[in-house]
Structure 1
């Protein structure tokens, strides 16, 4: 069989020598049980999304998914491995200082931190920063006006599979209402913050947030491999491999690609291309390689679908079900005032509907087996509020395209975005190994 991604394969194998304390003993030439290319094995790709056989027959994309299943984040992992020498508080503090003031502002900065910041600063030539800024403007409208109503439904979709959800399950971060609420708000805050004006510039708050998320993932990866007796590399492979981070970073452009395809197009228009570039740059800051952030419409759809086609299907109620139920039960609003309680109820309804439609093809029975129950009251709330929620989004989006109305629309969106960020609270982006729990 031809090797289509030799550089990526070499990068995977080099992890053992780059960070032997963490990766020694892992056979990167094997495939974990979670990955399957046998037609008789059930996968996470629903039949209504795409036909599985043609995807598994594409050797190039199958190789990419297989290789990336073993890809960690050596640069960030090396810094996270310093937990034996520094406290988590100190590691976080140094990252924040380096992001805000530069690496020279960190006294006696460890070389691992220098390498992490340098890696994030090295914007590759396959990123068009002009398009990134235009894409951020468009993504900001959705982050301020639409995402808050569906984020919970999108969030739980990331752990409805045992093999990809186990790292989060081990942290115990989603086993109680309060901890689940914090994690959902942290995730929402990150995606919202990165759309703010200038947020992804070198000293912007989005750049810092990306560094913190990257560090958190590496802490989970390190703790799963070194401190958890639940993690079986032969079954689960690499904890939080880059192929599992790709869906969260590219889900918005994947849905954009599906809408374009349904409209009969095979290419993105100019506005869509900017949103794609914004997402690709955000993924780069999180450590994803170019191979996992394609720019073309067909490549995005094929990569996302092939990952699902190769991920062995499994929904363990003790792992996935527990996290889904805790997340759906979590109260995300900042206060218990009546208005906040009403807003929380509306958001839950939209999230249930978004999850049921996007991941269960609208089948409520399937959604219920995964812990998401949607009823008449939910549809009633959506019907009553949709004219305002959707109507406002469409109106602002249209106004932002007018040279005369754009300043007014932009000011309104930024004001709403800042209000959302206040409601989400101050994210911590940490992983405490002392709170890790058995799962499944």
Structure 2
């Protein structure tokens, strides 16, 4: 796993760092060093693919689906990455991989989507450094609907039962996402990315922030609307996402001591407290995201929401979770839906009670939601951006 080098002068993107150091101690210093650490294994593969072209991608794809042992004399960087991916840490339970994410599969898909949009992605885009990199990739407004769908497909494959087993779609696509991050990092550095200001593109801290956006952030969001999970349930969630962090190349120091929302909160506080306020890039990304999301939420076959209703709900739950100050900074307008959110939360809390008290309800919910996600991952036309990057003809 990658390790940080000493960083006496942290990147200028950090704000309130003295206060963070006083509160979090060595964790703050370690975080600052990690702003200059990317992903050596994935970065080496990108260099190798550039040299090998189509042949390298064929080898990589076969290795991801069939395993390192299926390759004869693989290139060294591809072999090293596959070896790390296939080395299952002793803290991973094979039974849990077969079962999938035990908590995400208890949340109705429309609430999962609202938590992902109004919670996770909004939180991610509020970071100016992440927003700057995403805006630089171009056409973010036109591509927002597609990116939303593609990220949803990856997440669905990653949480489905068996999705993270070697060669399964969630395993393969997580590795492809990791390599796409390495490609973006390489391209940004070649085009003059200011590392003194921003740190390495998609560094370990940004990856940790993304990981938190799929663990603690959406579930703290969901608590605001009635979906509260017990500590033992949270532990199953984090154990599943530990392995995703491993596949994404995140240093274990960021996540192995995180077992529930309570132990995730200090890291979330550290990262959030040292991020500058949202900027124009952040606001542009959130606007594009919400515009796309409203069409998705109102256009679903089973949706009872009009575009105006979807917009009101999305704005309302986003402001409920992030608070008025951050919502205003991101230009998320006030919502007429705010008064009805407590009523909605009561209904969701009743669903959670039935899942925990009525025999068979939780298992039935998991199966129904799994069926929904299996249909979702099979209905996205064409290759995703992370899949295209790995195709031999690209």
TM-score, reference length from structure 2: 0.81
Q: Which deviations, in whole Å up to 9, do the C-alpha atoms of 1:296-320 show, x marking residues without a partner?
A: 4554211111122223x14331x22
- Within the alignment, does 1:194 sit opposite 2:150 as a pair? no
| Mapped pair 1:315 → 2:274 | no
Q: Is the 8 A contact 1:75 1:116 kept in 2?
A: yes
Whole-angstrom CA distance in 1 between matches of 2:219 and 2:290: 28
Deviation of 1:200 after TM superposition, in Å, equals 0.8
d(CA) in 1 for partners of 2:349, 2:61: 34
1:416 aligns with 2:372: yes
The equivalent of 1:118 in structure 2 is 83
Q: 1:59 and 1:149, CA in 2 relative to 1: closer, same or farther beyond 3 A?
A: closer
* SS in structure 2 at match of 1:137: coil
Partner SS for 1:291:
helix
Going from structure 1 to structure 2, the CA distance change for 1:68 and 1:415 (only over 3 Å counts) comes to same
1:292 to 254, 264, 274: 254
Q: Mapping of 1:18-417 within 5 angstroms?
A: 28-38=7-17, 53=19, 56-87=22-53, 93-105=58-70, 109-131=74-96, 136-142=101-107, 144=109, 146-153=111-118, 154-172=120-138, 174=140, 176-177=141-142, 179-226=143-190, 228-229=191-192, 231-255=193-217, 269-293=231-255, 294-297=257-260, 298-311=262-275, 313-317=276-280, 319-330=281-292, 339=301, 345=307, 347-359=310-322, 361=323, 363=324, 366-376=326-336, 378-379=337-338, 386=344, 391=347, 395=351, 398-399=354-355, 404-405=360-361, 407-417=363-373
| TM superposition shift of 1:198 | 0.4
Name the CA distance, whole Å, in 1 between partners of 2:187 and 2:265.
33
Structure 1 residues 245-277: Cα deviation after superposition (integer angstroms, max 9, x where no partner): 112222454358969x99xxxxx7322211111
CA distance in structure 1 between the aligned counterparts of 2:303 and 2:240, rounded to whole angstroms: 34
User: For residues 361-398 of structure 1, what are the alpha-carbon distances to aligned partners after superposition, in whole Å with 9 as ceiling and x for unaligned?
Assistant: 1x2x752441322432x558x769948xx857964784
Superposed CA offset, 1:18-39 (max 9, x none): xxxxxxxxx8543110124455
Matches of 2:298 and 2:231, distance apart in 1: 43
TM-aligned CA deviation for residue 55 of structure 1: 6.0
Whole-angstrom CA distance in 1 between matches of 2:81 and 2:387: 17
- Rate the CA distance shift 1:400–1:202 in 2: closer, same or farther, 3 A: farther
Do 1:120 and 1:285's aligned partners in 2 also have CA atoms closer than 8 Å? yes
What's the CA shift string for 1:276-306, capped at 9, x where partnerless? 1112111111111211002245542111111
Residues 38/99 of structure 1: CA separation in 2 closer, same or farther (3 Å cut)? closer
Q: 1:94 to 1:140 in 2, by over 3 A?
A: farther
Aligned-residue CA RMSD in angstroms? 3.8
Distance 1:93 1:142 in 2: 38
CA change 1:328–1:95 in 2 (3 A) is farther
SS in 2 for 1:146: helix
Contact kept, 8 Å, 2:283 with 2:330, in 1: the verdict is yes
Structure 2 CA distance for partners of 1:392 and 1:59, relative to 1, 3 Å: closer
Q: Distance in 2 between matches of 1:93 and 1:200?
A: 21
Mark the CA change 1:130 to 1:394 in structure 2 (over 3 Å): closer, same or farther: farther
Compute the displacement of 1:208 (Å).
0.6
Structure 1: gaps of 5 or more residues: 1-6, 14-26, 40-52, 263-267, 433-440
What per-residue deviation string (whole Å, max 9, x for no partner) do you get for residues 101-138 of structure 1?
22344576322111111111112223344455566132
Q: In structure 2, do the counterparts of structure 1 residues 135 and 203 end up closer, same or farther at CA, with 3 Å as the change threshold?
A: closer
CA distance in structure 2 between the partners assigned to 1:383 and 1:257 by the alignment? 16
